[in-house]
Amino acid sequence: MGARALVAASALALPLWAAACVSPPPQQTPPPSPEPLLGAGVTPSPAPAPPAPAPQPQSPPPEGTIGVTPGVVPPGPARTTPRGTPAASQTPEVSPSEDPVPSEPVPSGSPAALQTVTAYYVLLDDGGSNGVRFGCNDSLVGVAHTSSAGEDPLPAAVRALLETPADAAPSRPSPEVYNALQGSDLTFLSGSFDGTTVTVYLAGTLSMGGVCDLPRVEAQLTQTAVSAVGAIRAEIHINGRTLAEALRQH
């Protein structure tokens, strides 16, 4: 019995020992998958954005300074475009509240504007020494008179010849000159000028101091009217008649 049991135990132990001597094959680790390459159609995932910084409280600006709103560019000098013209957004604008400089007021009581007209008188027996010689060896001379600037030169000159205001010394002719119309009572009615001929209409009484006054009256009236408008010749009418007809009555 003892020998059989030993043989049986030996038969059982031999397979167990053989199995223990044979080690199991090592487990194989799968190779790592290759990393994708850029440019091969694979887009890498974007990196996460950094968190926005939290706003920090700021101290108020000191007194006397101009505050600047964050993100707003303060106005500066006008920028220049490539063509050299200022940018439209930087063009300065004039405030509508700016009033123009007021003009100086015209002082009250200032004299009205005046003009100068010329009436013609006679220097007796001057022989043309100081003017145009005519008639009885006399000279015809012009004397300046002042009148309102708004008055037409033709009536102003003729009225200055017919009327000598006693209260207007600068308008009176010199005592050395003679007015052949001083004894007449004539009034200016109307006048016209067509670019060549000036026509004057008078009314009233024509008086003469002698035969030599005939050419003097004609020369004074004619030259005064012609000079006032720059005419070539003059036509004078008294009470509807020509000057020649009126002079023949004396």
How many Å is the Cα radius of gyration of the chain? 62
In the predicted model, what is the mean pLDDT of residues 98-107? 42
pTM: 0.55
Provide the 10 A C-beta neighbour count for residue 199: 17
d(CA 248, CA 219): 15
Residue 250: its pLDDT value, please? 81
Burial classification of residue 123, based on how many CB atoms lie within 10 Å of its CB (0-12 exposed, 13-18 middle, 19 or more buried): buried
Long-range contacts formed by 103-108: CB under 8 A, 24+ apart: none
Residue 195: its pLDDT value, please? 95
pLDDT band (50, 70, 90) for residue 193: very high
pLDDT band (50, 70, 90) for residue 68: very low
